[in-house]
Amino acid sequence: MTFDFHDNEHKMSEYLTKKAVEVAKAAGAGKINANPRRGKYSIVPYQSTHNTGGAVMGADPSTSAVNKYLQSWDVPNVFVIGASAFPQNGGYNPTGTVGALTFHALEAIKTRYLKKPGALV
């Protein structure tokens, strides 16, 4: 994956950091450490980050890439297994959800798709 912050990300970070400081002060925070993002993207501080998205799962082919079985809407013999099915990162380690979705997809492939290849939805 190739990624770097652009001017807009830096501006958003500056704005949100200022807003967070305002909220913290209003809440009576005794110590505030405000560090808006600056500079180039580095994976080092994000080594435990789980990047997700890209082939979003949904019920409508006009707004998603795969169906609830992680099967491509456009190419029925393509199944996209992994966290790319998430429309956003839930904020926690996605491994359990990825495992459950994988099991769900593989069960459908085994019990339905292999018997009658084609769209499962």
Chain segment 66-98, per-residue pLDDT in tens: 999 999 999 999 999 999 999 877 767 888 999
Residues spanned by the domain of 65: 50-121
Residue 62 and residue 120 in one domain: yes
pLDDT (average), residues 104-108: 98
> Would the pLDDT of 47 be above 80?
no
- Does 50 participate in catalysis according to the annotation? yes
Q: Which pLDDT tens digit goes with each residue over 9-29?
A: 999 999 999 999 999 999 999
Residue 38 and residue 73 in one domain: no
Q: Considering 6, 10, 50, 104, which one is annotated as catalytic?
A: 50
Q: What is the pTM of this model?
A: 0.63
- Number of domains observed in the structure of the chain: 2
User: How much of the chain exceeds pLDDT 70, in percent?
Assistant: 94
Residue 80 and residue 117 in one domain: yes
CA distances from 116 to 49, 95, 111, 112, 120 (A): 39, 30, 9, 6, 9
Match 């939805």 to its residue by tokens: 121
2 falls within a domain: no
1 falls within a domain: no
